[in-house]
Amino acid sequence: MNQTKKKASALLAVALALTMILTGCGKSGDGSSSKTVVSSENPNQTARVATWQLPQTLQPHYYSQYLDGKREIEVSNFMSSSDQLQALLSDEVDACGMSLTSALEAAMDQKPVVIVCSLYSKGSALVVGADSDIQEAADLEGKIIACQKDSTQYVQLLNLLNETGLDPQNDVTLQEASPENMETLLKNGEIDAYCGIEPYVSQAVANGTGKILDTPYFDDEITKTDSVLVTTRENAERKNLMIKDLVKAQKQVTDSFKEDPDKWASESAQQTGIDQDIIKASLDNLELTWEIDEDFVEQAKALCDKMLELGIIEDTPDDIWEYIDLSFVEYANQ
């Protein structure tokens, strides 16, 4: 009987030890709870990443070049934040790009999303026809304006209309459209204006189709980050090494492109088919970024307040930190 008890105790001790090794326990030196990487994670596991086929969001296509060949990257191109979120939640990808506003909206919809780094900032513009008699935002009353609703530009447009005293539901007509189609709609007279993104804005100006009426960025209390890299809460823990690799690669690719804009424009032109000079010109209105910090978190919280004010979300997060994890940026900066 005693032998049986001893064996049982020994097995229990082994099981406990294995559990501690695999999941981690205790607290870090500063007293905060530690996030120990699961030791069974395969450091060479292929990472699946979703993004847009835009010059400023092509970084995932180059991640593998900065990971010393230790991890393969499978990249899927999508047309919208909604499609990328669906791929993430259905476990088709391990991380994806999303507009910041869509990521925050998903968080408020109780989706288990975690923002781990930035993809780019700015890049927005309100465009009207090159020969349009629309001179200011107030002239948009009664006009048809195109925008992609699961985008940061949609929130920026609603805010601009609100500040101008125009009711988005009654004073203008908002029409859903993909960014790459907006110039054609404007040229054909199907819309009067659109709130779009680079480099399609610079392309419309270069083609003589449109002119920039406004760049509708929020004030300095709200971040100008347009899009972010997002994963799930589960992936952030169970695939911790993978997400660290992705964020570190995002840093390295972004730094490389910022140091050599001609290289970025050339590579992007080959990937997208957009003229290299137009891509380079778009840098006047966008910034390649990757880093997020505590200021970003506070500004994201202010953005949530603005989205609540505009009626886009019904509530703001009790704790914004639940949806933003700075540890991956901190790791990349080591």
pLDDT-based confidence at residue 258 (cuts at 50, 70, 90): very high
> Which pLDDT does position 140 carry in this prediction?
98
pLDDT of residue 68: 79
For residue 5, pLDDT over 80 is answered with: no
Fold match between domain 47-121+223-332 and domain 124-214: yes
Which pLDDT value is given to residue 40?
72
Quote the CA–CA distance of 209 and 295 in Å, as a whole number.
38
Whether 95 contacts 231, CB under 8 Å: yes
Is the distance from CB of 182 to CB of 196 less than 8 angstroms? yes
pLDDT by residue (tens digit) across 115-173? 999 999 999 999 999 999 999 999 999 999 999 999 999 999 999 999 999 999 999 99
Residue 316 confidence class, pLDDT cut points 50, 70, 90? very high
More confident residue, 244 or 29: 244
pLDDT band at 2 (very low <50, low <70, confident <90, very high): very low
Task: Work out the pLDDT band at 262, boundaries 50, 70, 90.
Answer: very high
Write down the pLDDT at residue 256. Answer: 97
Give residue-wise pLDDT tens across range 87-105. Answer: 999 999 999 999 999 999 9
What pLDDT score does 33 carry?
32
Asked if pLDDT for residue 66 goes beyond 80, the answer is yes
Three-class secondary structure of residue 266 per DSSP:
helix
Separation of CA 34 from chain center: 26
- Please count the other Cβ atoms lying within 10 Å of the Cβ belonging to residue 209: 17
pLDDT at residue 70 in the model = 81
Q: pLDDT band for position 6 (50/70/90)?
A: very low
CATH number for the domain formed by residue range(s) 47-121+223-332: 3.40.190.10
Instruction: Name the pLDDT band for 326 (thresholds 50, 70, 90).
Output: very high
| Average pLDDT of span 176-194 | 97
CA–CA gap between residue 72 and residue 170 (Å, rounded): 50
pLDDT(221) > 80: yes
Average pLDDT, the chain: 90
Q: Give CATH for domain 124-214.
A: 3.40.190.10
Which tokens hold the place of 282? Answer: 């778009």
Sign of the four-CA dihedral 27, 28, 33, 36:
negative
Q: How far is CA 280 from CA 63, 276, 291, in A?
A: 21, 6, 22
Q: What is the pLDDT of residues 8-60, one digit of tens each?
A: 444 334 343 333 333 333 333 333 333 444 447 888 899 999 999 999 999 99
Contacts of 14 (CB under 8 A, 6+ apart): none
Q: Is the pLDDT of residue 199 over 60?
A: yes
Q: What is the pLDDT of residue 69?
A: 76
- What is the domain partition of the chain in residue ranges? 47-121+223-332, 124-214
pLDDT in tens, 283-305: 999 999 999 999 999 999 999 99
**Percent of the chain whose pLDDT exceeds 70:** 88
What is the structure's pLDDT at 16? 36
